[in-house]
Each structure stands twice: as structure tokens, then as C-alpha cells.
Amino acid sequence: MSIKSLRLFFGLPLPHRQAAAIDVWRNGLTLGGRPVDKRNLHLTLVFLGSQPVERLDELQRLAGQIRGKGFELKLDRLEVGRHGLVSLGSSQPPEALIRLAGELHDSLRAAGYTLEERAFWPHLTLARQCRTHPVLDGRPDFAWTAERFVLFHSTSDEQGGVYCPLFHWPLPVPD
């Protein structure tokens, strides 16, 4: 049986060191709910949903035309959203991040992709379906340099969701 469609999104991967540090910090919060597996921590740029496999070449071409720049991303806010979503956000999202997400969104929409209408909200989901608000001792402080963006395929295994990188594009870091 051949695969006809893939659940896709563009995102920023975390360096392994940052993912491990965030995982340890999050585990100290006793969030409950469903924590996002450490291997899946990322920041979504554009969610595409289910797409025909035949569109992968077009997605590669469109993403390859984006001329984003690398940037320092600082996650320093714990956010609690609807339906028990707990995430890390940035008190000052870098302009390069906003521009990258906007250029991807505009390029995909111009190519005929149907995308969510909501405004870009830069965040890293820590857990879902949390029933209690976490209590913080101090403020979160995680930072890294975003040097690439990735097209991910969302699938699942025995342990839950798995986000597999399919393709990546560099974000050159200015000197």
C-alpha cells in the first residue's frame, strides 16, 4: 500500500542540548497532562495539515526560495492556553522569526495551499491537556540560535506522535 498523503508542518528544531535542558526543567513543573516527547520539541512556523505526497517537490521549491536569516531565539515566558496547553513563549520574538513565518505563509498561500487563518503565535508546546496551572520558581530562560528551518512529517508510533524531519533549509547567521 502506498502513502498518498502526509501530515506536514514547517518548524524550527531545537538543538539536542536545549531540548534536554527544557525537558529536565519541564519535568520539575509537575504539569500533568500529556507532555510533548523531548524528541518532538519544536517551534511551528506554518502548519500544512494533510498534503498529497505529490506536493513535496513543490514544497521543497517554495521553501528553497525563502531567504531568511538566522537569529537568536529566547524563550522566557511560560504560557497557559486553552484546553490545558502549556508552552514556552518569547517576551520579544525576533523580527527575523516573524518575517520567516510570514514569508513561508505568504508563499504557500500564493501557491494555493489552504492555511489556518489565525495569527502566528511563536511558542514551543510543553504539554497538552494540563488540568492545573504550573507554579514557577523564577522565570524560564532558554535561548539558542536558529540556523535552519525544517519541513516535518507528523506520524505516530507505539509511544505517540513522532515528528520526522524531511527536508531542511539554512538560515545564515549574520556576522
Q: How far apart are CA 115 and CA 48, in angstroms?
A: 6
Closest CA to 133 of 82, 83, 80: 80
For 90, the 3-state DSSP assignment is coil
Asked whether the beta carbons of 33 and 154 are under 8 A apart, the reply is no
For 38, the 3-state DSSP assignment is helix
Task: Indicate which residues carry an active-site annotation.
Answer: 42, 123
| 112: alpha, beta or left? (left if phi > 0; alpha if psi -120 to 50) | left
